Structure 1
Amino acid sequence: MSNKQTKSDVILIGAGIMSATLGTLLKELVPEWNIKVFEKLDKPGEESSNEWNNAGTGHSALCELNYTSEKNGVIEISKAVNVNEQFQVSRQFWSYLVDNKKISNPQDFIMPLPHMSLVQGAKNVEFLKKRFEALSKNHLFQGMEYSDDANTLKEWIPIIMDGRTSNEPIAATKIDSGTDVNFGALTRILFDNLKNQDVEINYNHQVKDMKRNSDGSWDVKVINANGQVERHSAKFVFIGAGGGSLPILQKTGIPESKHVGGFPVSGLFLVCKNPEIVEQHHAKVYGKAAVGAPPMSVPHLDTRYIDNKKSLLFGPFAGFSPKFLKTGSNMDLIGSVKPNNVFTMLAAGAKNMDLTKYLVQQLMLSKEQRIEELRDFVPNAKSEDWDIVVAGQRVQVIKDTEAGGKGTLQFGTEVITGAEGSVAALLGASPGASTAVPVMLDVINKCFPQHMKEWEPKIKEIIPSYGKKLVENPELFNELHASTAKSLRLSED
């Protein structure tokens, strides 16, 4: 047993995009702070942040239909606007890092790519047209095009239109200012920068327990690569361990960790291995989710840039595993059930029978049945051109809410902070990595209120729109959208 005991200002648990972002922000704001990172795997960005484990959409609500709902014939766009604003904040942060030589080649992690929405059927076409009319009036979505003309669609998405024999109405929207983001690559870049700034990054170190010290700091029990126990204390701890965050949060015993559960959902993608087909498609094309399906299961045909190579993925197909991480344990789900959340979990199970039925159906699909679903998008798809890849685990938050009652399943990202601000945990999945920067700024604001007046000028240097709504400032949006596109090399200029 090791007797190693250390003290730090900040401990980050998990080496994913969230910890990388928070650590980078804090090093910009207070470079003198001592920060330690503990990751149970042997490298950063291997779970939810890995490029093969997420859609890499650069979620900005340009193509995701589940961010716009229709009520009494009116399209509600407030959620889409909010997600878009959050992504603009991320773009500003990344641009700052490029401009300040912290990132040398932004094309290692972000590439320009059209974002499209595609629907079939008269009712869905009518919805898409209304959505286009509502969004295109907003400057955050400028440049969006709509078409239900077969010839135009064949120009936009040839492999989707080729071989299509159905007379069912079909329509799409396209916006060329979308991006593909490789969050795995970005995570690795950010951790390389943190290492160069003397941040101690400990791989093959697993956090086993957390207890509060008498002075208000946290004692973190860690098992190192040699199986020895280490103890580390810090004034502030961020739990950014993806699906593994919930069990660690529960160990803190803070009141905010009570009556919270998690439901794991896994995913599969079909990956095209025929380079000729990959080259024929150049967009992220999102459809509509099946009835009863979780939002993360919206079908999409995605061009991706992975390992500096163009790829083509279709999915995701939902699955179920009791593990909270791909590298987790089959006991994760059972182990997360506590006396304070058992009724919350049971209520969620009773409320979500449609989701359970959907997951069972998805689990039973053969490869050929998955190819048949692909053919709804790509009519001429051949089974031999596609392989199945297992994507990441997501743990959807279950909590008691006023609106949804006991055991409400949450499909967004949840930040849980202790009342005194010494601990914060990130739970949930969507839209996840794309909103890492605004989410981490929110953590900083909640957990370090005593420093915000001092830090605000620097935050505004990093995020020029900080404290302002871009939806209310079209000139500022246009200026920042152009400048970030230039810094990130997303524009022809």
Structure 2
Amino acid sequence: MTFISKTQHADVVLIGGGIMSATLGAFIKQLEPTWSISLFERLDEVGLESSGPWNNAGTGHAALCELNYTPAAKDGSVKPAKAIHINEQFQLSRQFWSHLVDNSLIGSPKRFINTVPHMSFVIGDDHVDFLRRRYEALKPNTLFRSMEYSEDPSLIAKWAPLIVQGRDPRQKVAATRAAEGTDVDFGALTRELTGYLRNNGVEVNYGHDVTDIRRASDGGWDLKLKYPASGEHGGIHAKFVFVGAGGGALHLLQASGIPESKGYGGFPVSGQFFRCTDPAVASQHAAKVYGQASVGAPPMSVPHLDTRYVNGKRSLLFGPYAGFSTNFLKTSSYLDLPLSIRPSNIIPMLAVAKDNMDLTAYLIKEVAKGRDAKVESLREYYPEAKGDDWELITAGQRVQIIKRDPHKGGVLQFGTEVIAGRDGSIGALLGASPGASTAVPIMIELLQKTFPKNFKGWQGKLKEMMPGYGVKLNDNPELAEEIEASTARSLQLQEASVNS
């Protein structure tokens, strides 16, 4: 019996069964339903690496609570531009998901998205002053019109009791709240999208490793496949390849040899979360509460106490506690980092090592933290937390982008980056947060870069699926309210309301 994919040729090959590949596949199936698509996932199910619900915070990243998206400038001012951009991106994701739900292409939205208010919470005079200025910068904008602000512990306690109960009353605190925030199970969403693909002729292959990518004589790509369970080998020819393998994307992109891959490196950051599944505790907290990152911490290490919905069950999550591991995926080799070093990226990687000593020191400190120290960090946000109520789980592996810089030699980039071959026959995604929440606009960007000739003809369909596509909702209040209300109904979410 053979387990290797029988398909020898495909118009499109998707490498990796995460939210990015599933989203791109759904777009292509909508835009070009006759194109043949094959998806290859190295594990036994899709959405088990970074897209898995316990491998990320599940935050529908809309910049409603994430303070690192609005850093204070040197003059103390807070610029809202990045936060607005991220919110616009998430609105596009909501519209695409709504289109799929409304047309019964995926199942009930309750399987993957729920309303959970988004809060920012800070302690101390300086942080309170910053949060007030952030609120004043965001509140006048259409997409942040629902945001509330308070320095009153009694009101904050109504929003999120656990963060106030047992707190020293002498502490100066402040919080903002957006009631329409969301919690998203990206693993469940990935399975929904993959189910749609499979029901519409896409070949989905589990347990298949793509071990190499080589340029074919016709301008397409020849991929080598391995089925580790049996040791079988095979191959497939593709006109277009998307490398959406999360942390594994860098190796495959390097194997392709395209000039656009030169100079990129990866810096892996691991992490852990505390998880509480006790209903007596979880029922007391209904919010995602984000705080301030420690000095030297990477953006994905912003501490937060979250309500999570996974498989219909409500739990709490706190963290993350950053660490360091040389593997690029939870299930891959510790040799990933050293094997990713190339002559073209060694200078950028050394430059990043030299310029990020504070990050290195932070990671060393985090790795050295024992369980008691981790519980103390939890108590900064939940003063009455009992350590025995919380289990420590390993989060998904994140690989931050290292890229050439003409001035510094190399820079560490926190975010995501679309890379496309010059002829449009291959595309890849590197990086992390806000990642999954912005999968829809990211994959639209990839389509635009890799299929420039087709893209113009797709505009009408894209607009049909996402009425706000091509429009800045923040500058169009009436359309923004209409679309937010419409997607809230489709996804069974709470609508944004205006607060004075």
Aligned residue among 387, 393, 398 for 1:394: 398
Per the alignment, in what secondary structure is the counterpart of residue 425 of structure 1? strand
CA–CA distance in structure 2, aligned partners of residues 5 and 266 of structure 1: 36
Give the ranges of 4+ consecutive aligned residues of structure 1 lying more than 3 Å apart after TM superposition.
1-5
- Equivalent residue letter for 1:53: N
Offset at 1:378? Answer: 0.8
Aligned residue among 284, 289, 301 for 2:293: 289
Per the alignment, in what secondary structure is the counterpart of residue 314 of structure 1? strand
- Equivalent residue letter for 1:39: E
Partner of 1:312: 316
Aligned residue among 125, 129, 140 for 2:128: 125
Offset at 1:5? Answer: 6.7
Partner of 1:407: 410
Aligned residue among 10, 13, 17 for 2:12: 10
Per the alignment, in what secondary structure is the counterpart of residue 380 of structure 2? helix
Contact 2:161 2:285 in 1 (8 A): yes
Contact 2:222 2:236 in 1 (8 A): yes
Aligned residue among 38, 43, 50 for 1:48: 50
Equivalent residues in 2 for 1:77-476, closer than 5 Å:
77-224=80-227, 225-402=229-406, 405-476=408-479
Partner of 1:63: 65
Offset at 1:3? Answer: 11
Contact 2:352 2:402 in 1 (8 A): yes
Offset at 1:381? Answer: 1.0
CA–CA distance in structure 2, aligned partners of residues 238 and 311 of structure 1: 35
CA–CA distance in structure 2, aligned partners of residues 166 and 223 of structure 1: 60
- Equivalent residue letter for 2:55: N
Q: Summarize the Cα distance change of 1:487–1:4 in structure 2 as closer, same or farther, 3 Å threshold.
A: closer
CA–CA distance in structure 1, aligned partners of residues 469 and 69 of structure 2: 23
Offset at 1:134? Answer: 1.0
CA–CA distance in structure 1, aligned partners of residues 22 and 360 of structure 2: 34
Per the alignment, in what secondary structure is the counterpart of residue 347 of structure 1? helix
Offset at 1:103? Answer: 2.1
Aligned residue among 21, 24, 27 for 2:23: 21
- Equivalent residue letter for 1:484: T
Correspondence 1:480 to 2:452: no
CA–CA distance in structure 2, aligned partners of residues 433 and 492 of structure 1: 22
Over the matched positions of the two proteins, sequence identity in percent amounts to: 56
Per the alignment, in what secondary structure is the counterpart of residue 146 of structure 2? coil
CA–CA distance in structure 2, aligned partners of residues 253 and 282 of structure 1: 48
Contact 1:242 1:427 in 2 (8 A): yes
TM (norm. structure 2) is 0.96
CA–CA distance in structure 2, aligned partners of residues 185 and 85 of structure 1: 23
Q: Summarize the Cα distance change of 1:334–1:485 in structure 2 as closer, same or farther, 3 Å threshold.
A: same
Contact 1:222 1:230 in 2 (8 A): yes
CA–CA distance in structure 1, aligned partners of residues 495 and 85 of structure 2: 27
- Equivalent residue letter for 2:283: E
Q: Deviations over 1:404-445 (max 9, x none)?
A: 622200100111111111101111001000000000001111
CA–CA distance in structure 2, aligned partners of residues 442 and 226 of structure 1: 38
Q: Summarize the Cα distance change of 1:336–1:81 in structure 2 as closer, same or farther, 3 Å threshold.
A: same
CA–CA distance in structure 2, aligned partners of residues 274 and 42 of structure 1: 29
- Equivalent residue letter for 2:348: T
TM (norm. structure 1) is 0.98
Greater shift after overlay, 165-174 or 259-268? Answer: 165-174
Contact 2:258 2:421 in 1 (8 A): yes
Q: Deviations over 1:155-185 (max 9, x none)?
A: 1111111111151210000010100001000
CA–CA distance in structure 2, aligned partners of residues 307 and 278 of structure 1: 15
Per the alignment, in what secondary structure is the counterpart of residue 75 of structure 1? coil
Contact 1:69 1:77 in 2 (8 A): no
Q: Summarize the Cα distance change of 1:5–1:199 in structure 2 as closer, same or farther, 3 Å threshold.
A: closer
Q: Which runs of 5+ in 1 are unaligned?
A: none
Contact 2:247 2:430 in 1 (8 A): yes
- Equivalent residue letter for 1:319: G
- Equivalent residue letter for 1:133: E
CA–CA distance in structure 2, aligned partners of residues 130 and 492 of structure 1: 25
Q: Summarize the Cα distance change of 1:294–1:239 in structure 2 as closer, same or farther, 3 Å threshold.
A: same
Q: Summarize the Cα distance change of 1:449–1:471 in structure 2 as closer, same or farther, 3 Å threshold.
A: same
Offset at 1:453? Answer: 2.3
Offset at 1:345? Answer: 1.1
Q: Which runs of 5+ in 2 are unaligned?
A: none
- Equivalent residue letter for 1:481: E
